[in-house]
Amino acid sequence: MVRFDTYNASAHLVRQLESSGVATVTHDGGDTVLVKLTSGHEVSIHLIETIIPPYELKLNLIENAENDIYSLFVLWGDMFLPHDNEVFQPDPWMHALMSLYNGKLYAFDVYGKDIRIFPTYFEPIDLLHYRIHYGGDVDVTKLGCGSFDMAYPDLSGSWLVADFTGATPPPKRQKKQEAHAAKPAPRKRPPTPWEILGIAKTTERDEIKRAYRRLARRYHPDLNPSREAHDLMQALNNAYQRILDELDAPQPKP
């Protein structure tokens, strides 16, 4: 069901983009769609159906930026978000996405033939909680892109970001001709236990436990029907145990 809904949302988005004439689809991988705008700029649209830790989000941003590609992330609303107007405590990885889009997220939902792609706005209630407000369907003709500076922990930097606000992209940069052979792509390092739980290494033990329990409730195979749930839950368990072992290890004497 997870992949089926994602592919339906992807096909819906592809049809809208092609019929609008705003962009040409150059690659359709189901959960990742690469399009070229009429301006010549390229946008990689990522449909998110499983947790995407900040380190993985950053790797996507870096890889796309190195290829002069703008990134757009759209998460599965029915999987990750509560109902409209409900109060919600986002996970750390969702906070990273919210920072990337100035306090909002883009989401997709599939209900049979009714497919929606829409912005979700977060009204702060306190330091941890937000009230959710769903916007109307996006206007694909307003797909635009620009450079965005972030100071969010683990995501600080200047990133190439796309959204549906009609942002006017800067002139496309000319790619330099490389006289030498292309360098091989660097290997992606495995995530640390802290990154898997979406927390900083300075996080207190009680908050570590809360972060683990939040993710466990979301990805336990008894509660999550996705095919990735078992592997995700195993990774969460291993990460949590490694963090506890590290916290309980004897500290070296000064």
> Which sequence spans correspond to the domains of the chain?
2-163, 193-247
- Tell whether pTM > 0.75: no
Using CA atoms, how far residue 101 sits from 24, 71, 120, 159, 225, in Å, is 24, 11, 10, 11, 29
User: By C-alpha distance, which of 222, 208, 199 is closest to 51?
Assistant: 199
Q: Whole-angstrom Cα distance, residue 234 to residue 114?
A: 34
**Is the CATH code 1.10.287.110 the one for domain 193-247?**
yes
Q: Supply the CATH classification number for the domain 2-163.
A: 3.40.1350
Measure the CA dihedral 139/43/153/233, to 10°.
90
Residues 6+ apart with CB under 8 A from 221: 229, 230, 233
User: By C-alpha distance, which of 88, 126, 134 is closest to 107?
Assistant: 134
- Provide the residue-wise pLDDT of the chain in tens; the chain has 254 residues: 446 788 888 889 889 998 999 899 998 887 889 999 988 899 999 999 877 877 778 888 888 888 899 999 999 998 899 999 999 999 888 888 898 888 899 999 988 788 999 999 999 999 889 999 999 999 999 998 888 888 777 677 889 999 998 876 666 655 544 444 444 544 556 778 887 877 778 888 888 888 788 778 777 888 766 666 787 788 889 989 999 999 888 876 65
